[in-house]
Amino acid sequence: MKSLTLRGWVTLVVLVALALLPVFVSMTGREFFLVLATRLVILAIAAVSLNLILGYGRMISFGHAAYLGIGAYAVGIPVYYEIYNGFIHIGIAVVVSAAFAFLTGLVCLRTRGVNFIMITMAFSMMVFFAFVSIEEYGGDDGLVIEVRSEFGQWVNLENDTVLYYVCFVSLLGILYLIRRIVHSRFGMVIQGARGNEARMQSLGFDTFRYRLVCYVIAGALCGYAGALLGNFTSFISPEMMDWTRSGELIFMVVLGGTSSLFGPVLGAGLFILLEEILSGFWLYWQLIFGIFLILVVLFAKGGIDSWLGRRPER
């Protein structure tokens, strides 16, 4: 067996801890940790999907939380109409997210830099206001989801531990998927266009279309995370898509390390821990948190993952 690096050890320990967490919870009876961990894992999926465009493609989307919202409402609205089939929920979440990514991507991927950031944010705010204005689904008061998605008799999401494991296995699957994508021909093109777009075009790549496909994949994956979030929270509201939520996802990615496979998971973990600890101390925890994040961005290029000794490979 290959000897593990520090980085490998941290990855392994975090994954094993997450895998065994329900055992710990059932022994100690501290349900609270399961709630925390479920949220962590779902946000980790969202962060990992954002990293595909932000880290590997340097498409700094400030509207990624919109997909969490779309995914959550893809559970909430059907349940409101008494459609409980989870496959339908997931299907709607993924397809609508992909379609939204495709249509908005056609516009925003023609821009770069700050314009891209602003336009992605603007599109997410459009979704935000759209849901605020639909009274039927609660407007800005939000929507209560009484029942979780149904997946037949084998997977009962009403059981919190089952829901947690569904989220955890999803995270593993999506990490593996991203890993394959990043090393594939497609992933090479995305990373090449990050490094030198003009050169990629002169080699013969229609970089716009490759980026668009990448943007759609990331959106669809985050929509999936949104469907899990909808099941988890049982209360959804447009606030989930607020631009500050998108900002938090960016922070998780940057905190953990952009264009590192596992970095965003660590980032999401640290984010949630800090949020818990700091919010217990002080009402204005977000201020401290903001300062901390700015320091990370300024002084720890590469995020946690680079402290763990990541080599300059991808």
Partner 1 sequence: MDESVILGIKDLYKSFGGVAATNGLTLDVLEREVHAVIGPNGAGKTTLVSQLTGVVLPDAGQVVFRGRDITRMPAYRRPHLGMARSFQITSIIHDMTVLENVVLAVQAKAGHSYRFWESAIIDDQLTEPAMRALTQVGLETEAMQVAGPLSHGEHRQLELAMVLATDPELVLLDEPTAGMGREDSTRMVSMLESLKGSRTIILVEHDMDAVFALADRITVMVEGRAIATGTPDVIRADRLVREAYLGEDINTAIKSARET
Site residues for partner 1, 155-184, by CB under 8 A, read: 180-181, 183-184
| Residue 28 in the binding site for partner 1 (CB under 8 A) | no
| Residue 260 in the binding site for partner 1 (CB under 8 A) | no
- The phi and psi torsions of 235 (rounded to 5 degrees) equal -140, 120
Residue 144, H or E segment:
strand 143-144
By CB under 8 A, name the one of 29, 113, 154, 185 that touches partner 1. Answer: 185
Site residues for partner 1, 216-235, by CB under 8 A, read: none
State the number of binding residues for partner 1 (CB under 8 A).
26
Contact 109, 193 (CB under 8 A): no
| Residue 186 in the binding site for partner 1 (CB under 8 A) | yes
| Residue 112 in the binding site for partner 1 (CB under 8 A) | no
Task: Give which of 235, 265, 231 is closest to 46, Cα–Cα.
Answer: 265
| Residue 141 in the binding site for partner 1 (CB under 8 A) | no
Q: Which two tokens stand for residue 303?
A: 């995020």
By beta-carbon proximity to partner 1, the closer residue of 52 and 119 is: 52
Contact 161, 34 (CB under 8 A): yes
| Residue 110 in the binding site for partner 1 (CB under 8 A) | no
| Residue 95 in the binding site for partner 1 (CB under 8 A) | no
Q: What is the CA radius of gyration of the chain?
A: 19
Contact 219, 53 (CB under 8 A): no
**Burial environment of residue 56 by CB neighbours within 10 A (0 to 12, 13 to 18, 19 or more):** buried
| Residue 213 in the binding site for partner 1 (CB under 8 A) | yes
By CB under 8 A, name the one of 1, 114, 198, 298 that touches partner 1. Answer: 198
Can you give the binding site for partner 1, defined by CB under 8 A? 180-181, 183-189, 191-192, 195-196, 198-207, 210, 213, 312
